[in-house]
Amino acid sequence: MGLIPTELHHYSLKDVLRGAASARRPTGKPAAIALPGVGEGISIRSARAAVIVTLKALGLPAGSRIGVPLYCCPVVFKAIKTAGCLPKFIDIDPGTYCLSTADLKAKQAGLDALIAVHMFGNLCDMPGILAIMAGRPVIEDCAQSLGSRLDGKACGSFGDAAFFSFRSGKYLAVGEGAAVFSRDRDLRTRLSALIEALPAPAAAEEIKHVSTTYLRSKLRGRFWWGLLGWRIWALYNKRTEFADKSPIVVSRMFRSDLATLHDRLPRLDSTIAAQRAHAAYFERNLRLAPARLPLEDPRTVCNRFMYPVIFPSTEERDAMAAHLRRHGIGTASPYEDTVEGASRHYGYGNDCPSAERTLKTTLVLPSSYALRPRDIERIVRCANQGWAAIRRSGPAQPTTSLRA
């Protein structure tokens, strides 16, 4: 009880009432969503649906080869396959968790398009990526990077197209919802036509979605997450096949999610500022060497969506996770089963060694803007105490499954 969750799933009774009221409104054209520095995008049900629609709008033939980092949410692989294309995996730079331009350059000849995933709010080297792709379509996955900037320019404004996610657990956490952007007038016209042709959720589906989002947010909240929620989530992950997780429904955005988004969007800058302050406190006070803390590139201003730490070994990462859980602090090891799942379902050929190592040694610490100063101080204190005890017991040997 009282376990600090890693993700923020905020959905109040006020959101329920607003969502229920909006569900009764008539359906019109897909709503426009304006994000600062990017422009006006087109609303759609989810980021995974946005991947499918964008690939179709680009007019890519069936079987097109889409570059994508191995270290990202595996639903991106699923969406690529659903669109009739083939994912081709690119390694990452462990310092940013984003695409390695060196590996992209080595593999670029076999690609028809690329999805550049801005991981954990960090930003890919977009000028370098665009130069390597040499005119082939580049899609920015900004699901985790809302508000981040590179060289003073907002993420999502570099590639041919971009999409943002507002799903629960992300910055605005409205339930589901996404927005698709493109600076290219013809591509935007095609995107708009495809999304307008999608079905809109019926009122009954809206009400069910509002209720489910509220219940899920409660299970992900501090009280119920420690008491019950994390056990349900662990059981789901254990019993659900890799390819069956995160089902994809291609439709328009829920009207209830759109109403909640408009309510929260004006507070985006203040929430990012709070979360950046938490990250800065971690950087000043965590004593986890030789573990690697996530440092911000001088060219970027990141939203610090999550705070991932790379430990020397899987064993030391797991020991830290167990120590923090005993002290009421939740952690996460995102996408840990990606290597096995990508090999089994999406043709991954074990050619991304940095991503493989990072997947097996990364631990995300809670850093949400909603946490109180005393929570952040406790996380740092417990992490430092736990790490000192782990290192006193002797550094663990690297796991044999990790590649050198």
Q: How many CA atoms lie within 13 A of 176 on its CB side?
A: 26
pLDDT of the residue at 223: 86
Is the Cβ–Cβ distance between 298 and 53 less than 8 Å?
Answer: no
Distance of alpha carbon 404 from alpha carbon 389, whole angstroms:
26
Task: Output the pLDDT for position 233.
Answer: 82
- What are the tens digits of pLDDT across the range 184-243? 999 999 999 999 999 999 999 999 999 999 999 999 988 888 888 888 888 887 878 766
Distance CA 240, CA 341 (A): 12
Secondary structure letter of residue 266 according to DSSP: G
Say how many residues make up the chain: 404
Tokens of 346: 């999406």
Q: Where are the domains of the chain?
A: 19-196
Nearest-angstrom CA–CA distance, 207 and 254? 10
**For 66-88, what is the mean pLDDT?**
97
pTM for the whole thing?
A: 0.94
From residue 232, give the alpha-carbon distance in Å to each of 57, 240, 329: 38, 12, 17
Model confidence band, residue 400 (pLDDT cutoffs 50, 70, 90): very low
What's the pLDDT score for residue 404?
A: 27
The least confident of 22-31, 137-146, 337-346 is 22-31
pLDDT the model gives residue 398: 47
Residue 219 φ then ψ, to 5°: -65, -25
Instruction: Give the mean model confidence (pLDDT) for residues 321-335.
Output: 95
Which has the minimum average pLDDT: 42-46, 371-375, 394-398? Answer: 394-398
DSSP string, 140-205: EE-TT-TT-EETTEETTSSSSEEEEE-BTTSSS--BS-EEEE-S-HHHHHHHHHHHHTSPPPPHHH
C-alpha to C-alpha distance for 219 and 233, rounded to whole angstroms: 10
pLDDT at residue number 227 = 84
> Chain-wide mean pLDDT for the chain?
93
Given a cut of 90, whether residue 38 has pLDDT beyond it is yes
Task: Tell me the C-alpha distance between 181 and 139, whole Å.
Answer: 10
Predicted pLDDT of residue 15: 94
Instruction: Tell me the HSE value of 11 on the side-chain side, using a 13 A CA sphere.
Output: 33
* Per-residue confidence band for 1, with pLDDT thresholds at 50, 70 and 90: low
Q: Which CATH number does the domain 19-196 belong to among 3.40.50.2300, 3.90.640.10, 3.40.50.970, 3.40.640.10?
A: 3.40.640.10
DSSP structural state of residue 299: T
Query: DSSP letters along 89-112, please?
Result: EE-EETTTTEE-HHHHHHHGGG-S
Contact 304, 366 (CB under 8 A): no
Short-list 150, 145, 139, 95, CA closest to 120: 145
